[in-house]
Amino acid sequence: MNEPKSSKWFFDYLSPFEAHAHGIANIVYSKQTKYQQVEIIDTKSYGRCLVLDGKMQSSGEDEFIYHEALVHPALLTHPDPKKVFVVGGGEGATLREILRHQTVVRVDMVDIDQEVVESCKIHLPQMHQGAFDDPRTDLKFLDARKYLEENKPLYDIIIIDISEPVEEGPAYLLYTREFYQLVLECLNLDGIISLQAGTTSATSLLNFSAVYQTLKSVFPVVTPYQASVPSFGLPWGFALASKRYDPLELGKKEIDKRISQRISGELRYYDGEVHGAQFVLPKHVRARMEREERLIEDNQPLFTYSLT
């Protein structure tokens, strides 16, 4: 028997002309913080979800795809990651995945919006799974860029898990060449960064290709990749950038070996097979990336929905 259609809908606008509609079962939490609108909703298809400024961030049913894709390629490419820095990641799932690595001894997490993190602690326990209380976690509520500029700490891994660069939002100055240069200075010689880079949809490639070219202007090694996260409604792009290590040099057997040696528990998405496949981008995506001339800079930031 077919279930009745939902009477309440959340429209996740992918562009001014396209949206992914989610049937809402319940609105758990909603508040305008100092920095952004935060909503936690129960959806009919994807379970409990975090939404920031009207954009889907994580869903209970498929967040493991996004977070495993964001975290594990970087940490497994590094020979021995011990000290990790997380920018953003308010729901705690990125932190959760990092802490599964037995080599990691400390994770500094900086999120600008304490109200988002506190609401996620209460309403999204299935995502953070107690990661905020792990003794290796040092959580600060600060401007991540300012923190790095003032302290210049050194890390093995830096994970940038922030929302899209919405105009007047808290994240757009964390996509610029100047910020990536600062991140480079805060990495050890073996250092690697990983970040979400926006959709790889054929109609919305500007952000992904501009992030790629901006990273290339700073880092010696830049390796873009993608994953399918169904709740986002579009294929999603990521990038790994390094001072020296190329993840493509690691084969399926080596990745599976490192997973078995380093990671606690069973991964649901990522393994040696996926590792190699995710770096194979379609021809039209590669072509757009290589011809992209746009560099993202402090005085020329890029905002989502700038479709060209």
**Full-model pTM:** 0.95
Q: Are residues 135 and 232 in the same domain?
A: yes
Mapped onto helix, strand or coil, the DSSP state of residue 214 is helix
At 41-88, the pLDDT tens digits run 999 999 999 999 999 999 999 999 999 999 999 999 999 999 999 999
Q: Are residues 121 and 199 in the same domain?
A: yes
Q: Are residues 36 and 81 in the same domain?
A: no
Answer with the residue of higher pLDDT: 166 or 94. 94
Q: Are residues 45 and 158 in the same domain?
A: no
Q: What is the pLDDT of residue 2?
A: 61
Q: Are residues 51 and 136 in the same domain?
A: no
105 within a domain of the structure (yes/no): yes
* Cβ count near 32 (within 10 Å): 11
Residue 304 has pLDDT above 90, yes or no: no
Residue 305 has pLDDT above 70, yes or no: no
Catalytic residue check, 161:
yes
Q: What is the pLDDT of residue 307?
A: 36
Q: What is the pLDDT of residue 164?
A: 81
Q: What is the pLDDT of residue 4?
A: 61
Q: Which residues pair with 264 in a beta bridge?
A: none
At 9-48, the pLDDT tens digits run 999 998 888 999 999 999 999 999 999 999 999 999 999 9
121 within a domain of the structure (yes/no): yes
At 114-128, the pLDDT tens digits run 999 999 999 999 999
Q: What is the pLDDT of residue 303?
A: 84
Q: What is the pLDDT of residue 168?
A: 65
The sign of the CA dihedral 142, 148, 154, 156 is positive
Q: What is the pLDDT of residue 306?
A: 39
The domain spanning residue 33 has which CATH number? 2.30.140.10
Distances (CA, A) of 46 to 3, 130, 231: 16, 22, 7
Task: Please state, in angstroms and rounded to a whole number, the distance separating the CA atoms of residues 158 and 87.
Answer: 8
Mean pLDDT in residue range 277-298: 97
Residue 187 has pLDDT above 70, yes or no: yes
- Show the domain range for 79: 63-291
Mean pLDDT in residue range 86-92: 97
The domain spanning residue 102 has which CATH number? 3.40.50.150
Q: Are residues 79 and 219 in the same domain?
A: yes
**Domain count across the chain:** 2
Could you say which of 108, 111, 113, 161 is catalytic? Answer: 161
**In the Cβ-directed half-sphere of 13, how many Cα atoms lie within 13 Å?**
9
Look at the block and give the residue holding tokens 């990038």.
239
Distances (CA, A) of 206 to 4, 79, 81: 39, 33, 32
Residue 122: phi and psi, rounded to 5, are -80, -45
Q: Are residues 41 and 164 in the same domain?
A: no
What does the mean pLDDT of the chain come to?
A: 94
Q: Which of 291, 271, 53, 34 is nearest to 162 (CA)?
A: 53
Q: What is the pLDDT of residue 169?
A: 67
Q: Which of 46, 2, 55, 3 is nearest to 24 (CA)?
A: 46
Q: Are residues 140 and 28 in the same domain?
A: no
143 within a domain of the structure (yes/no): yes
At 148-159, the pLDDT tens digits run 999 999 999 999
Answer with the residue of higher pLDDT: 155 or 7. 155
Model confidence band, residue 3 (pLDDT cutoffs 50, 70, 90): low
Residue 254 has pLDDT above 80, yes or no: yes
